[in-house]
Amino acid sequence: MGKQQTKAGRERRKRKEPIGPVKIAMVSPEMVPFAKTGGLADMAGSLCPALERLGLKVSVVMPAYRSVIHGNFSLIDGGLSVSVPISDRQVEGSILQTKLGQGMAVHFIRCDRYFDREALYTASEGDYVDNAERFVFLARAALEALRPNPPQILHCHDWQTALAIVFLKAQPENYPELASVKTVLTVHNLGYQGLFGYPDWHLLNLDRSLFNFRQLEFFGKINFLKGGLVFADAITAVSPTYAEEIKSPEQGFGLEGLFQERAQDLFGILNGADYAVWSPQADRCIARNYGATDLAGKKVCKADLQRAMGLPETAGIPLVGMVSRLIAQKGLDLLEKCGEELLGRNLQFVLLGSGEAKYEAAVREWALRHPGKASVRIGFDETLAHQIEAGADLFLMPSQYEPCGLNQLYSLKYGTIPIVRATGGLKDSVIDYQPKSRSGTGFVFGPYEPAALLDALDRALNLFARPKGWEALVKRAMAADFSWDRSARAYAEMYQRLVS
C-alpha cells in the first residue's frame, strides 16, 4: 500500500464513489455511550455509525463493564458463552448484545471478575494489578465472539485489544474460521503500551519464541501494543502529523524503529468531531444555542459560565478555558511553570479536569491565589465541559504531544479560539492566525517553553481587544469542518484496499 493507492483513494473521494459493504468488527476497550475514559471512546462511538452511513457493515466487541451492566442499554442475553484459555485454565464468560444506530450489533464480553469494577483500568491506588490477565481474556474472548460470523476486517484499538491480532496471526491453527480476516490496529496514544513483566507471559499461551525484541519483548517486558503493531496488516495513528512523529525517537516511545520499518502500512487519519453532540447549534447542555450568523447566544453562554464558576460577569474580559486530564502530556508541567505569569494577564481562567495529584494541587492553588479571576473544578463533568466550550473565548491546549485531540475540534466549532502547541492533531487542525493576511483559525506555538505559550496567548489577547478582527476569526474557526464523515471515508478506503 503505497502513495499510489493513496492518490487513487483521493481521486475516488473526489468522485464520491461508493464504498463496498465491507464487514468490520471493531474491537475497542471503550466506546461512547457505554464506557469512556478519553478520546478513544468518542472516536469509536463516532467512527462506527459514520462507517455505517457509508454502507459498511459494522459490529463492535467491548467489555461489559459495570457502566454497561448497570446502564440503561436494553441488553439481550442470548445465552451465548465463551471459554478461553488463560495460562493452564479455561476462563468462562458470556456475551450480551445490544443494537446501536441503524442496527449495528454491539457484543459485550461479560466476565464480572474482570470487568464489573469501579473503573476501567485504574483505581485510586493505581492500575489494576491483573490488567494483563483482563486484557488477554478480552482479546481471546473477542476472537471467540467473532468465530461464528467472521468479519473481513478486525479493527483493534490500543494495547488493550492489540493481542487479538497477535493471537489470530500467530496461532492461525486455533482460529481457522477467521483465516482470511485482515487486521488493523489504531494507535491512539503511544504513551500507553500495555507493558507487563515476564512473569505474566504464561497468561498469553503463546510460544516462548515470540518473546524476542522483534516481536513482543520490549526492554525485558511484554509489550502488548508492540505485538499488535508487528502482526497487524495495517496500522493507523489518529492524525497525519502523529503518524510522522511516532517514527522519531522524541515521540516514538522506543517503538520508532518499528514504525519506520512499517512506514508503508502506517496511515495517519485525523479523528473527526461528533457535531450532533458537539456543536453550538445542537448542544443541549448550554444556556443558549447559537451559530456563526448569530453570536448573541455565545455571550449568554459566557455569562452563564462565569456565574457557574463564580467569576464576575464581565463581557469584555477574555475568558480562557481548559478541559483536560491533568497530566504532563497535556502541558501541565509547562503551565505549572508559567501559571502565575498567565494569570497576571487581564483575563479570566476556568479549568475542568482531574489527574495527577500534584497538578490538581497546583491548579487549585491558582484558584485560591486569584479569586474572581481563576476558577477550577476538579473532577469529570460532561455538562460543564460543554459549557466551557460554549462560554469561553479561548481554549488552551499546550500539549507536550497530542495524537489527535478532540477539544480543539470542538472549540473551533464553538468559536472558542484554540491556543495550541504545534504537535500531532493540534498541528493538523488549527491554523495559526496571520495578521497580514487575516487568515487562520487559532494561535499555534512551537517550542515547549513558557515564553512561546505566553507569546501565543498575548497574540490572542491583542486580537481579542479588536472586536471586528476577533469576530472574523471566530467565524473562520466555526466554518472549519472536521466532521466524521470525511475521516470515516479514509478508514473505509483503507479497509477496501486491504480486502481487495
The site for ligand ADP (CB under 6 A) is made up of 38-39, 42, 323-325, 352-354, 380-382, 385, 404-407
Q: How far is the CB of 420 from ligand ADP (least distance, A)?
A: 11
Q: How far is the CB of 362 from ligand ADP (least distance, A)?
A: 16
CB 160 within 8 A of CB 133: no
Q: How far is the CB of 252 from ligand ADP (least distance, A)?
A: 18
* Residue with the shortest CB distance to ligand ADP: 39
Q: Does residue 289 sit in helix, strand or coil?
A: coil
Q: Does residue 202 sit in helix, strand or coil?
A: helix
- Of 198, 213, 220, 196, the closest CA to residue 255 belongs to 213
Q: How far is the CB of 141 from ligand ADP (least distance, A)?
A: 25
Q: Does residue 185 sit in helix, strand or coil?
A: strand
30 vs 393, beta carbon nearer ligand ADP: 30
Torsion of CA 230, 231, 237, 243, to 10 degrees: 40
CB 58 within 8 A of CB 99: no
95 vs 394, beta carbon nearer ligand ADP: 394
35 vs 166, beta carbon nearer ligand ADP: 35
C-alpha cell at 420: 495550541
Give per-residue burial for 203-230: e unless 16+ CB within 10 Å, then b.
Answer: bbbbeeebbeeebbbbeebbbbbbbbbb
Q: How far is the CB of 419 from ligand ADP (least distance, A)?
A: 15
151 vs 321, beta carbon nearer ligand ADP: 321
Q: How far is the CB of 162 from ligand ADP (least distance, A)?
A: 18
Determine the residue type at 494. Answer: M
- Secondary structure in 3-state letters for 254-286: CCHHHHHHCHHHEEECCCCECCCCCCCCCCCCC
- The Cα angle at residue 181 between residues 226 and 254, in degrees rounded to 5: 10
380 vs 448, beta carbon nearer ligand ADP: 380
464 vs 484, beta carbon nearer ligand ADP: 484
9 vs 39, beta carbon nearer ligand ADP: 39
Q: How far is the CB of 189 from ligand ADP (least distance, A)?
A: 6
Determine the residue type at 473. Answer: L
Residue 178 burial class via C-beta count within 10 angstroms: exposed 0-12, middle 13-18, buried 19 and up: buried
Q: How many CB atoms lie within 10 A of CB 311?
A: 21
137 vs 359, beta carbon nearer ligand ADP: 359
Q: How far is the CB of 399 from ligand ADP (least distance, A)?
A: 8
CA-to-CA distance for 440 and 446, rounded, in angstroms?
16
Q: Which residue has the cell 479455561?
A: 90
